[in-house]
């Protein structure tokens, strides 16, 4: 209760709890400034004046402040009290703290706004009917699909006449819904007429019972499936035309399901095989075609081949040669449904071809074979000369590097024998570690030295028996330096892998080529997080080396030709000259395999398999040969070529004496024992000429 000076006469405990002030704190003077917010002061003054003028009680919601400074919302009802003479003696007020109620209402309004926005932005039609089946919701997507704005739909009791102007269609819609007692349904497809007169097919669903909303008797979504419907219609027409083609084509037509059971054969198939459609439908194709041996990929959805040649036996047992052209069949969901094949009978054509082949000129065939052999020999010689140049350069670098490091090591050892301070001795150790690394790098370069590159000469006689771990310790410095610092490189080489038998220098060259290719692929793609991984592991009776990068990968057309000699899609920078063909040739020469895979997500994985062998080696059992050539490189080359032929290379003076002696054609010492047979080699004839001389 307020006095006329706005001081408090009565202040109950609830007022104290709401505003925080005690009765004594508000009873001594004007209490309005204590509890009225400045923004509401003017309104409160105006209401107070109305109360003093006895204009009646006032119902008001305004902003108040509590003693601890909080802003609250209060609902006030005030009324003047008069004395016996009718004059205002005091004012009584009832106040309710509705702060939480106001906040909840605000949150509810915001939630409704957000829900309305979400409904409007959904890419499906969202609709709702009230209890009288009058539309109360029609979102923006519904307007985009139908062309009808919300103001023409919401509140319109004749909305079905807009969407279904055809009376029969409208009655069918209402009757179907009524049979469901206007309850829930899922994906009922109906055509509607849009504002522009076009027809769209909508898949309607009602979910009011599953998700009830106050005041809504029915609501749900609609999905525009017009395009899908048109595709299905076009698909049915296409299937009809396809069947007509198969029926009328002069080719054997057959359709089987995914299990190989025959679903359809055309008249030409019946006439060719002697089987009627009634006899073969539902049977497995193998029981009818009787292809022995079965043609791989025929009517197989997994190992599918679009075109192949196979054999077919008719009902009477006669064999026929058929060229099949296949295509996969799929369900509307994209799942395999079977295979459709058309077969051309080429039995007579193949017989004529075979007869013509018997009369082909034999001399022309020999000329072609000899020409191909000469071309191949020339190609191999060119390849060998290119690789020999790189080998000589690597051997020279290794030799010069060793010559330079020898005196440095000697001086370091001399310095190490003197009295040095701990820091100086630590620095000396760091220098020695660097020299050791350079020595290791030189050893790796030596493995790229000049060796024979004819795959026929890569055999046990010129191979080392070693483990991948031993090989890695020798070439680690060389290969790690091949990968630039801006590309991450990791190597995982276990020590427990089986031994292999292969030329070390060729294995090094093969892995070097794979690393160079990976580096160039990453650099061309401009990747900032390029990574290369070299891994070794056991395989099925083999040791496996894998080089994997995260570059852009290889397209299918590039992958098909990647192992061909001199095939490239880039300008060569760091390369051995033959790229992946060298790796493939090396793998084949040692009885291994080389595979390249490039998944759709990107990156390339090169897998090199080398057959595993026992570490113990066996000696050759061929003729004994002594080499008397002063040039150590030529002598080493002859030794490896002879080893590839199964010969045993001996030294002078050993017993028993050799069967052959190898000397230079122009010069060289001839043994005294004239009973030995001489092999004269001419270095100017090149490696191929030397190999021919040794072979003869």
Q: Is the pLDDT of residue 452 over 80?
A: no
Burial of 515 (0-12, 13-18, 19+ CB in 10 A): buried
Q: Is the pLDDT of residue 498 over 80?
A: yes
Element at 240 (helix H, strand E): helix 226-248
Position with higher pLDDT, 679 vs 608:
608
Q: What is the mean pLDDT of residues 51-78?
A: 87
Q: Is the pLDDT of residue 323 over 50?
A: yes
pTM of the model: 0.33
Which tens digits make up the pLDDT trace of 38-63? Answer: 888 888 888 888 888 887 668 888 88
Which tens digits make up the pLDDT trace of 81-101? Answer: 988 888 898 999 999 999 998
Position with higher pLDDT, 53 vs 235:
53
Task: For residue 618, name the pLDDT band (cuts at 50, 70, 90).
Answer: very low
Question: Encoding tokens for residue 52?
Answer: 């003093």
* Average pLDDT of the chain, as a whole number: 81
Position with higher pLDDT, 21 vs 403:
21
Residue pair 169/193 in contact by the 8 Å Cβ criterion: no
- Residue whose structure tokens are 């995914």: 258
Q: What is the mean pLDDT of residues 177-201?
A: 85
The predicted structure's pLDDT at residue 453: 43
Residue 320 — φ and ψ, nearest 5°?
-130, 145
The predicted structure's pLDDT at residue 616: 44
Q: Give the Cα separation of 1 and 244 in Å (integer).
A: 98
Task: For residue 293, name the pLDDT band (cuts at 50, 70, 90).
Answer: low
Residue pair 94/77 in contact by the 8 Å Cβ criterion: yes
Q: Give the Cα separation of 649 and 627 in Å (integer).
A: 7
Q: What is the mean pLDDT of residues 665-691?
A: 68
Helix (H, G, I), strand (E, B) or coil at 493: coil
Q: What is the mean pLDDT of residues 589-614?
A: 88
Burial of 664 (0-12, 13-18, 19+ CB in 10 A): middle
Task: For residue 194, name the pLDDT band (cuts at 50, 70, 90).
Answer: very high
Least Cα distance to 467 among 594, 607, 615 occurs for: 615
Q: Is the pLDDT of residue 454 over 70?
A: no
Q: Give the Cα separation of 132 and 65 in Å (integer).
A: 47
Q: What is the mean pLDDT of residues 397-422?
A: 77
**Cα 550 off chain centre by:** 11
The predicted structure's pLDDT at residue 399: 67
Dihedral sign computed on CA atoms, order 448, 451, 454, 460: negative
The predicted structure's pLDDT at residue 450: 42
CA distances to 149, 182, 290, 323 from 258, rounded to whole Å, are 50, 43, 18, 21
Position with higher pLDDT, 553 vs 182:
553
Q: What is the mean pLDDT of residues 261-275?
A: 86
Any idea of the CA torsion for 67, 68, 71, 76, to the nearest 10 degrees? -30
Q: Is the pLDDT of residue 672 over 60?
A: no
Beta strands in 288-418 (DSSP E): 307-313, 319-330, 336-345
Q: Is the pLDDT of residue 568 over 80?
A: no
Task: Tell me the HSE value of 144 on the side-chain side, using a 13 A CA sphere.
Answer: 13
Task: For residue 181, name the pLDDT band (cuts at 50, 70, 90).
Answer: low
The predicted structure's pLDDT at residue 440: 58
The predicted structure's pLDDT at residue 566: 55
Contacts 24+ apart (CB under 8 A), 53-56: 54/80, 54/82, 54/88
Residue pair 89/81 in contact by the 8 Å Cβ criterion: yes
The least confident of 126-135, 216-225, 455-464 is 455-464
Which tens digits make up the pLDDT trace of 536-550? Answer: 999 888 999 999 999
Task: For residue 384, name the pLDDT band (cuts at 50, 70, 90).
Answer: low
Position with higher pLDDT, 511 vs 400:
511
Q: What is the mean pLDDT of residues 625-649?
A: 76
The predicted structure's pLDDT at residue 92: 93
Tell me the DSSP string of 620-668.
Answer: --S-EEEE--S-HHHHHHHHHHHHHTT-EEE-TT-SSPPSEEEEESSS-
Q: Is the pLDDT of residue 615 over 80?
A: no
Residue pair 59/79 in contact by the 8 Å Cβ criterion: no
């Amino acid at each position: 209760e307020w006095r006329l000076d706005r001081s408090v006469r009565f202040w109950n405990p609830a007022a104290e709890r709401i505003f925080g002030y005690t009765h004594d704190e508000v009873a001594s003077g004007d209490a309005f400034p204590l509890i009225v917010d400045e923004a509401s002061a003017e309104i409160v003054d105006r209401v107070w004046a109305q109360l003093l003028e006895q204009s009646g009680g006032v119902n008001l919601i305004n902003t108040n402040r509590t003693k601890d400074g909080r802003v609250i919302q209060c609902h006030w009802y005030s009324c003047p009290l008069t004395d016996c003479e009718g004059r205002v003696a005091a004012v009584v007020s009832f106040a309710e703290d509705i702060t939480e109620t106001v906040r909840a209402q605000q949150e509810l309004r915001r939630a409704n706004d957000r829900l309305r926005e979400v409904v409007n932005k959904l890419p499906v039609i969202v609709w709702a009917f009230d209890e009288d089946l009058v539309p109360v919701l029609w979102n923006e997507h519904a307007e985009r699909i139908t062309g009808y704005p919300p103001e023409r739909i919401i509140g319109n009791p004749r909305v079905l006449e807009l969407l279904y102007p055809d009376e029969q269609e409208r009655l069918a819609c209402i009757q179907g819904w009524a049979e469901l007692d206007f309850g829930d349904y899922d994906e009922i497809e109906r055509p509607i007429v849009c504002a522009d007169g076009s027809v769209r097919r909508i898949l309607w669903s009602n979910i009011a019972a599953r998700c009830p909303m106050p005041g809504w008797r029915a609501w749900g979504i609609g999905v525009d499936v017009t395009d899908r419907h048109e595709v299905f219609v076009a698909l049915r027409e296409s299937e009809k035309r396809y069947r007509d083609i198969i029926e009328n084509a002069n080719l054997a037509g057959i359709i089987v399901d995914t299990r190989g059971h025959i679903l359809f054969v055309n008249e030409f198939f019946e006439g060719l095989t002697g089987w009627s459609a009634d006899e073969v439908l539902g049977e497995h194709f193998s029981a009818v075609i009787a292809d022995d041996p079965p043609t791989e990929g025929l009517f197989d959805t997994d190992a599918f081949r679009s075109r192949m040649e196979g054999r077919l036996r008719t009902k009477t047992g006669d064999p026929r040669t058929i060229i099949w052209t296949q295509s996969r069949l799929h369900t509307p969901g994209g799942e395999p449904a079977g295979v459709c094949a058309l077969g051309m009978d080429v039995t007579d054509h193949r017989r004529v071809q075979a007869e013509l082949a018997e009369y082909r000129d034999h001399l022309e065939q020999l000329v072609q074979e000899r020409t191909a052999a000469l071309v191949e020999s020339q190609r191999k010689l060119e390849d060998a000369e290119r690789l020999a140049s790189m080998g000589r350069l690597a051997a020279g670098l290794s030799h010069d590097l060793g010559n330079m490091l020898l005196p440095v090591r000697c001086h370091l050892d001399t310095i190490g024998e003197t009295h040095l301070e701990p820091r100086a001795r630590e620095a000396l150790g760091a220098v020695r570690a660097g020299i050791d690394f350079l020595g290791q790098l030189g050893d790796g370069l030596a493995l790229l030295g000049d060796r024979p590159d004819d795959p026929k000469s890569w055999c046990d006689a010129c191979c080392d028996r070693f483990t991948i771990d031993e090989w890695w310790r020798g070439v680690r410095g060389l290969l790690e330096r091949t990968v630039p610092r801006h590309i991450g490189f990791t190597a995982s080489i276990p020590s427990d892998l089986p031994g292999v038998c292969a030329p070390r220098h060729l294995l090094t060259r093969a892995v070097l080529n794979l690393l160079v290719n990976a580096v160039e692929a990453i650099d061309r793609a401009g990747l900032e997080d390029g990574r290369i991984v070299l891994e070794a592991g056991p395989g099925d009776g083999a040791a496996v080396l894998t080089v994997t990068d995260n570059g852009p990968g290889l397209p299918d057309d590039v992958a098909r030709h990647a192992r061909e000699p001199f095939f490239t899609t880039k300008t060569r920078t760091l390369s051995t000259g033959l790229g992946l063909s060298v790796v493939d040739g090396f793998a084949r020469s040692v009885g291994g395999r080389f595979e390249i895979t490039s998944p759709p997500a990107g990156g390339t994985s090169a897998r090199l398999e080398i057959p595993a062998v026992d570490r113990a080696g066996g000696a050759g059992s061929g003729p004994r040969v002594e080499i008397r050539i002063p040039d150590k490189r030529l002598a080493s080359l002859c030794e490896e070529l002879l080893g590839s032929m199964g010969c045993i290379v001996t030294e002078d003076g050993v017993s028993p004496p050799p069967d052959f002696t190898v000397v230079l054609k122009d010069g060289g010492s001839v043994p005294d024992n004239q009973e030995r047979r001489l092999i004269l080699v001419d270095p100017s004839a090149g490696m191929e000429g030397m190999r021919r001389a040794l072979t003869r």
